[in-house]
Structure 1
């Protein structure tokens, strides 16, 4: 069970600039508190930008940060905030009630994530990340279960999975392995960890997203 929250942002001519800002190490560090399992996932489809989060608090923090950025840049953005309803299988308003069994699974998931975060805190952060863009949310959920059964700990946001790796060689080896196991039409990429990029960034007292944590 994964708790899916989504911002759908109609950005018109400012979509590319918005995505660049959302993927900046400063913003990701502030919104995720540098914890791997608090990852935001950003994607873009033309003039529409999507931001996926694992908790309501994180999604709301991202919404507030984006709104403040848009105001400062003079962008006219329309932000739609929704929560995935697993029984209805559609995006609904954030306060829509969930059935009791869904709420119970969400509580179990929150406990699992808390345990995994503690494990991450006790060790070094992942230096690299493997990102998997799957054809659908359903296939992402099934593939997440498969990878967990194999002893891996992916983070899922909607139809995306992210896995950490200690170095580039391990990340590329993991990506090759995942490419061989993932459903057809999945896209696998390797990128540097946002947490590490933030830690190694040059000091910038004018970083645009400074102070936007939740």
Structure 2
């Protein structure tokens, strides 16, 4: 898996973001700069914020230098940061922070990811992943609902269906594997919530 780096540019005004974006599109770079940049840097804009995606730290630093020169030439005020994607934590962090090298460091990043997603789920009252359990009868579904709630799992039940929330795909898969062993007559699927963190208004299930 290749490394991913990002230059984050925070300008004072949304119009300034548009201005720098347009200047980057029209920029005529010299050969030395093109060589240092190497392959294309991908650029996105969100209002007054620009994001430049690069394949290496060196490419990101050169992209930051180019953007900083444009900002200074236009006498704008902006903050720039170079960040690196941490796949275990699923977060952009300062590029000076190395990726985890040991099992303990990976576990620490995973714990940080779960903590952040727990806060997000609490704020939005929803989950990114769901385990959908289709049971043979309504009574079995009601019993499972009570049992999962006692474990502290967020649950919704409708007729013979139970939907359990999970913070991460790994948690959802672990829950599904456990329940498959405990409920041999049930049908289970793991679903990603693509409609935001809250349960979608209509959840289509197998009959």
Range into which the TM-score falls when normalised by the shorter chain: 0.3 to 0.5
Greater relative CO, 1 or 2 (CA 8 Å, sep 6+): 1
Pick the structure with greater CA Rg. 2
The normalised TM-score by structure 2 is: 0.43
What TM-score, normalized to structure 1? 0.42
